[in-house]
Amino acid sequence: MQDSTLITIIFIFFYFSWNFYLQSRLAYMNSNDSESDEILNNIEKAEKRLNPIVHDEKKRLDDMWEIVRESIPKLWTEPIPVLVFSCNRPAAIRDHLQKLIKLRPSKDSFPITVSQDCDNAKVADEVKKFGDQVEYIKHTSGINANIEIPPRYKRRKSYFYISRHYKLALTHIFSNNSYSTVIITEDDLDIAPDFFSYFSSTRYLLEKDPHLYCVSAWNDNGKLEHIDWNANATLYRSDFFGGLGWMMARRQWEEFEPKWPDKFWDDWMREPAQRKGRQCIRPEISRTGMMVHGKKGVSKGQFYAKHLSKIKMSNFSINFEKLDLDYLLPKNFENKMDKDLADAVLIELKNITSSTWQPKVENMKVKIVYTGKAHFVNIAKKLGIMNEFRSGIPRTAYNGIVTCFFKKTRLFLVPDRSKVAIYDPTW
């Protein structure tokens, strides 16, 4: 199929080149010249035969590229490096690396690079104990890098250091190697038994689907009371970038690198100018979790106790390679979501939050319609799920729809399309 596409491209190139050559010759000849008349006749005859093909070139090429994408193998065989960000937590980097090395299928399939920003010798010592199992790189620490920080951000200067660190480390990964992918983690993350299977099996989707720009191992609404433990292999598309253990392709970095922000890189990635309507894959049950080391960090642990520590990480070992994940492709997932919403029973919030609520049937689906930001926030608070927005997108949302599992019931929060724009960045 790739040969056919190449032939079509070559044909179109030569057609236009040939046409340009004849037109050029014609321009230099006298209009009464007999050769000029012959060339003109040849051009007219050729155009009548070739124009239908040339005019249809975009559709033909799109169709051919679609065939090429369909032929992309689902088993990803190229190495996928794991890039680990560290700073000043020796115990965290030790525990994180032990887990990565224990669970990875092989060093060649998932090479590990630790990137350290802070000048903490104990962190460096811990990493070096792993020898050739990991690559270690050290940057000039952000605090010593003479970064210009506006006065209003003096108390949040660490976010400038982090954004700079991400750019340096990602540039290292892609500039010094031929890798086509990277998995990004931080030293305070735990990983599930099927962490590597999850990422290697979803990698082909990034190649096949231009509407994806990441795969995340994190579910922002992944607390035990909001997940279906029986749906441990279920994955979703989401407009929200979750991070906290995520994967992207080289081409994505090549797009982002020239305009990488000097601060708050994760929120920057959620902005419309970067997202461009693209989505991420995320799991029903997180494949990363927050270790106790997350208490100590840039945010001073303010999100740890109330939220991060409560996200439930999977303890299953799903072999994702054996699953057909094509249901996550755009049209397939849209159709699936449409069917789920059609099957869902419309209810009011007071119904499901009642102490007497019980699903009428097994695997019951219900939906609640929200009419605006304040309405959504009120519903989310009553359910106990995340109620904040980033660039107008609720966490985990797909086309404005947020789904969770509540009281043994699959619940969808659905925007009233007549009142809610997808998405309003002012939210």
| 51 within domain boundaries | no
Q: Which residues contact 206 (CB under 8 A, 6 or more apart)?
A: 181, 212, 213, 214, 215, 247, 248, 249
Q: What angle do CA 321, 221, 319 make, to 5 degrees?
A: 10
pLDDT of residue 306: 82
pLDDT of residue 246: 98
What is the distance of C-alpha 212 from the center of its chain? 6
| 50 within domain boundaries | no
Same domain, 249 and 108: yes
| 114 within domain boundaries | yes
Residue 416 in contact with residue 258, Cβ under 8 Å?
A: no
Same domain, 113 and 181: yes
pLDDT of residue 43: 59
Annotated catalytic residue, options 228, 266, 267, 340:
266
| 363 within domain boundaries | yes
Closest CA to 386 of 202, 176, 240: 240
pLDDT of residue 161: 96
Three-class SS of residue 262? coil
Same domain, 225 and 281: yes
Same domain, 267 and 368: no
Give the strand pairing for 246-249 and 212-216: antiparallel
Residue 328 in contact with residue 132, Cβ under 8 Å?
A: no
Among left, alpha and beta (phi > 0; psi -120 to 50; other), residue 246 is beta
Same domain, 259 and 377: no
In the sheet with 82-86, reading across from the earlier edge strand, the strands are 134-138, 112-116, 82-86, 181-186, 246-249, 212-216, 279-283, 235-238
What is the distance of C-alpha 106 from the center of its chain? 24
Tens-digit pLDDT profile for residues 170-202: 999 999 999 999 999 999 999 999 999 999 999
Residue 231 in contact with residue 282, Cβ under 8 Å?
A: no
| 105 within domain boundaries | yes
Same domain, 259 and 379: no
How far apart are the C-alpha atoms of 268 and 257, rounded to whole Å?
12
DSSP H or E stretch at residue 413: strand 409-415
Residue type, 128: K
DSSP H or E stretch at residue 412: strand 409-415
Closest CA to 404 of 213, 212, 234, 205: 234
| 49 within domain boundaries | no
Closest CA to 142 of 160, 167, 155: 160
Q: What is the pLDDT along the chain (427 residues), one digit of tens a residue?
A: 444 445 555 545 554 554 544 454 444 444 445 555 655 566 566 666 666 665 665 566 556 556 656 667 888 999 999 999 999 999 999 999 999 999 999 999 999 999 999 999 999 999 999 999 999 999 999 999 999 999 999 999 999 999 999 999 999 999 999 999 999 999 999 999 999 999 999 999 999 999 999 999 999 999 999 999 999 999 999 999 999 999 999 999 999 999 999 999 999 999 999 999 999 999 999 999 999 987 676 655 557 778 889 999 999 999 999 999 999 999 999 999 999 999 999 999 999 999 999 999 999 999 999 999 999 999 999 999 999 999 999 999 999 999 999 999 999 999 999 999 889 999 9
Choosing from 328, 361, 388, the residue where a domain stops is: 328
Choosing from 300, 328, 356, the residue where a domain stops is: 328
Same domain, 356 and 336: yes
| 75 within domain boundaries | no
Give the global pTM: 0.84
CATH of the domain at 106: 3.90.550.10
Residue type, 320: F
Same domain, 170 and 305: yes
pLDDT of residue 361: 93
pLDDT of residue 53: 64
Same domain, 162 and 188: yes
Closest CA to 232 of 324, 315, 176: 315
Tens-digit pLDDT profile for residues 348-402: 999 999 999 999 999 999 999 999 999 999 999 999 999 999 999 999 999 999 9
CATH of the domain at 341: 3.10.180.20
Same domain, 345 and 323: no
Q: In the chain, how many domains are there?
A: 2
Three-class SS of residue 321? helix
Same domain, 311 and 358: no
Choosing from 328, 360, 382, the residue where a domain stops is: 328
Q: Residues in the chain, how many?
A: 427
Structural domain including 268 reads 82-328
Q: Is 266 a catalytic residue?
A: yes
Same domain, 348 and 319: no
DSSP tag of 14: H
Beta bridge partners of 280: 214, 238
DSSP assignment string, 120-182 = -HHHHHHHHTTGGGEEEEE---GGGTT----GGGGGGHHHHHHHHHHHHHHHHHHHSS--SEE
User: How many Cβ atoms from other residues are within 10 Å of residue 99's Cβ?
Assistant: 18
| 46 within domain boundaries | no
